[in-house]
Amino acid sequence: MSDVRFGMAIDTRTCVGCAACVIGCKTENATAPEFSRDWIYTLLEGEYPDVRMTIRSERCNHCEDAPCVTVCPTGSSHYGPGGTVQVNPDKCSGCKACITACPYDARHIDPRSGAADKCTFCMHRLESGITTTSCQEICPTQSIYFGDLNDPDSKISRALATREAYVLKPDAGTSPKHFYLK
């Protein structure tokens, strides 16, 4: 996976905020009770009848320049295969520096292990040859694009090449690999 650069994009026009991705992730990754690695963010603007709503499925952005990796004193938070950002729970001390360093509050401590926890882009699936993430698989409106940003023919690269997209908090300087299609 050396020349692969995994990324994700959410189609904010078709995402209805049903939170199936949240449940899908919970089931697939067996996250701790009452904790989740992905979530639905809803922004409602304006006064009735002139209102607009933005719905986003959010998770760790697998930043290119990830402050969580920069601050980790043990090397537990690291850049993994395909340019993803991963946590090695065996090395984690639970110092929580990565949690305060993440501008997106995308991390938490898994109380069962005491280690930092967050979205892995379903690395266990990718490594076993499954090319989708569980949130992508379960999404009833197929609003989640996932794939290789380095491959110009991948579905995500095409979507990003033909549609306008944004990342969250670009001025935090993290270069996210998680996009939102307008």
Partner 1 sequence: MNEITSTRHNHLIDPTMHVWGWEIPLYLFLGGVVAGVMILTGIRFLRGQGREPSPALALMPWVAPIAISVGMFFLWLDLEHPFNAWRFYLTFKLTSPMSWGAWILLGVYPASILLAWVGTPERHKARIGRWVARIALLRRIEGWAKNNTVFLARLNIVMGAALGIYTGVLLGTMAARPLWNSALLGPLFLVSGLSTGAAFMLLFGLSDDERRSLSRADMGLIAIELGLLGLWMMGLATGGSAAQGALAVILGGPYTAAFWTLVVALGLLAPLAGEWLEYKHGALPGRGTAVLVLLGGFALRWILVFAGQATGWVTEIAMR
- Residues near partner 1 (CB under 8 A): 19, 22, 34-36, 39-47, 54, 58, 67, 70-76, 90-97, 99-103, 105, 107-109, 111, 113-115, 166, 168-173, 182
Between 61 and 157, CB nearer to ligand SF4: 61
Site for ligand SF4 contains 135 (CB under 6 A)? no
Minimum distance from CB of 73 to partner 1 (Å)? 4
Minimum distance from CB of 179 to ligand SF4 (Å)? 13
Letter string b/e over residues 149-168, b meaning 16 or more CB atoms within 10 A of that residue's CB: beeeebebbebbeeeebebb
Between 55 and 116, CB nearer to ligand SF4: 116
Q: Which range touches ligand SF4 (CB under 6 A), out of 36-44, 56-64, 129-137, 154-162?
A: 56-64
Between 20 and 60, CB nearer to ligand SF4: 60
# of chain residues touching ligand SF4 (CB under 6 A): 28
Angle formed at CA 105 by CA 101 and CA 107, multiple of 5 degrees: 85
Q: Which one of ligand SF4, partner 1, none interacts with residue 45, CB within 5 to 8 A by kind?
A: partner 1
